[in-house]
Structure 1
Amino acid sequence: MFKIDTNTFNPQILYVGDCYTNEPRIGENHHHDFVEFSIIYEGQVKYNIEGKEYWLKQGDMLVLNPGVRHFDIAEPGMHNVQLHIGFRNFSLTGFPRNTFPFKEAVLRQHDTSTEILPICDEILREKSEEKPGYDLLLKTYVMQLIIQILRETEPRQIRTSGLKLSMEELEKQQLVNQIIYYMEKHHTEEVSLSTLSETMYISPAYISRVFKEETGDSPIHYLIKIRLEKAYELLKDERLTVKEAAKLVGYNDAYYFSKLFKKHYGFPPSHILQRTS
């Protein structure tokens, strides 16, 4: 029913957090510029989504696309534990990036199998234990959760109009996916707009414009993020020096690499070495 490009299926996990509520509260009405999953892990809660109220119980979940306004309401005597997962850089072939083509944000327990909560069990366990490599495993479980949701989606839950991409838009999406795949494979090499242009046989200006439209990023800034994420994993799991990690992801200048790393993560790469030593 849905098709994912396996070469470029690499969602960026922004956060994984659990929240316990056992007293009356009304959350702040808000929206995100990324996708958020909110799973009711225990108890029950009421949600207001775009002005419409829903009662949710254990096993129910929300799939909130960018721009969907929502807030939760805990009434007296209610308690709940919710698991919130935010991510971006996700696409289904033929649909806009960072969008699930569902008619409603709410997926009821009877619409999903019991596979959802067991995956959440693993996510919460990894998050609480924080063993080496836990954040990589969290990403793996989130990817598993995405696939499980798509597998269990019934035809009646899917929006059949208003979301499908035109042929021109689909071609742009496929081009961007090809560029991302190329950068993932060649991030250790010298990659520039000229390189991408020669590889894709498309002008640099067109590549820049289409890539920005699809991802909100320039190709080179996207490449930097790929390199920094790879470096983070190298530093954490292989106990390399900063200079060695920088070189392995395509930077000969360790000082420049450190500046980029700190700007992206908010702390220098040496901080990871201190945590793992």
Structure 2
Amino acid sequence: MCQLGLNASNFNPEILFLIDHTMKGKVFKKYHHHDFIEISIVLSGEVFYNIENKVYKITKGDILIFNPGVNHNEMLEENMTVRELHIGLSNFAIEGFIKNTFPLPINSSILILDKYKDAFFRCCDEILLEQQDNFPGYDMVLKSLVMKLLVILLRETTFEDARKKGIKFSCEPSEKQNVVKAIISYMDEHYMNDISLSTISENMYMSPVYISKIFKEETGDSPINYLIKVRLNKAKALLDNGELTVKAVAKSVGYDDAYYFSKLFKKYFGYPPSKVKS
């Protein structure tokens, strides 16, 4: 069965740091980014975060996930106090996703939990207590708790969205066919839109590399080549109908540049689109 790219044998992130940190009064941290994943959990209070030159007010219960390269810094005003739990992670790998990148369901670093919020913050309390007690073997317990925290996050965000869409991430050979069928269905329905490997990746919650790999395995072609064939066959049908100009046909199948469309058409069919019209 497909396990959404996550199981005990292949998911083993390294915890770089686990910091319980409180700030008070006027603070302006340095604008920076990391080459690892940082998760910042607001346990109490409030703080301003500048994320890629956009400022957000973050309050108790909010979670921030900064993938590598995402610029950010914290800012507090005179009367503000905040307590945060910061977790640094490397070797974060889920099959079908980009390594060391948390698969965020939307284009934002800010998460607000709903279904699993209570479970998530109970786990945070366990982490803080384990750090405080510092009993023998605490590092192993902390790792297991952080793993639990990550699974809760993934259940609420990426995996829940994917489940609703019927998307699978890491699949047995028989199930790869279903994934490729979903990709083909997406391209067949949206061929007239601005589609790239990146947009397919975002829609399917899979890395571009993984999509290309399984698509090639199942069809013998790349996703983009398949998309081009779909567009050109749709274009030929429209041209055969004889009601639209070449430029209008090009635009209707996703090409704003009629000259580029004509070159592709001639390469694929062996004659220019103008010959169909004539």
Instruction: Supply the RMSD in Å over aligned alpha carbons.
Output: 2.4
C-alpha deviation, 1:22, in angstroms: 1.5
Deviation digits for residues 124-151 of structure 1 (CA, Å, limit 9, x no counterpart): 1111111101111111111001000000
Counterpart of 2:62 in structure 1 is: 60
Deviation digits for residues 207-232 of structure 1 (CA, Å, limit 9, x no counterpart): xxxxxxxxxxxxxxxxxxxxxxxxxx
**Of residues 9, 20, 44 in structure 2, which corresponds to 1:42?**
44
Q: CA–CA distance in 1 between the matches of 2:17 and 2:26?
A: 25
Counterpart of 2:78 in structure 1 is: 76
Distance 1:4 1:109, change over 3 A: closer
**Long gaps (5+) in structure 2:** 163-200, 215-278
Q: CA–CA distance in 2 between the matches of 1:98 and 1:111?
A: 25
Distance 1:106 1:149, change over 3 A: same
AA at the equivalent of 1:79: T
C-alpha deviation, 1:170, in angstroms: 5.5
Question: What TM-score comes out, normalization by structure 1 length?
Answer: 0.57
Q: CA–CA distance in 1 between the matches of 2:212 and 2:89?
A: 22
Contact 1:2 1:150 in 2 (8 A): no
Counterpart of 2:10 in structure 1 is: 8
AA at the equivalent of 1:113: K
C-alpha deviation, 1:107, in angstroms: 0.2
Matches within 5 A, 1:45-194: 45-102=47-104, 103-110=107-114, 113-153=117-157, 154-155=160-161, 159-160=202-203, 164-167=207-210
AA at the equivalent of 2:161: P
Size of the alignment, in residue pairs? 170
Percent identity between matched residues is 38
C-alpha deviation, 1:3, in angstroms: 2.2
Distance 1:109 1:79, change over 3 A: farther
Report the secondary structure of 2:58's partner residue. strand
AA at the equivalent of 1:46: F
AA at the equivalent of 1:47: Y
Report the secondary structure of 1:39's partner residue. strand
Report the secondary structure of 1:166's partner residue. helix
**Long gaps (5+) in structure 1:** 172-277
Distance 1:170 1:63, change over 3 A: farther
Distance 1:167 1:59, change over 3 A: closer
Off by >4 Å, runs of 4+ in structure 1: 109-112, 167-171
Distance 1:167 1:47, change over 3 A: closer
Structure showing greater Rg: 2
Distance 1:34 1:170, change over 3 A: farther
AA at the equivalent of 1:122: E
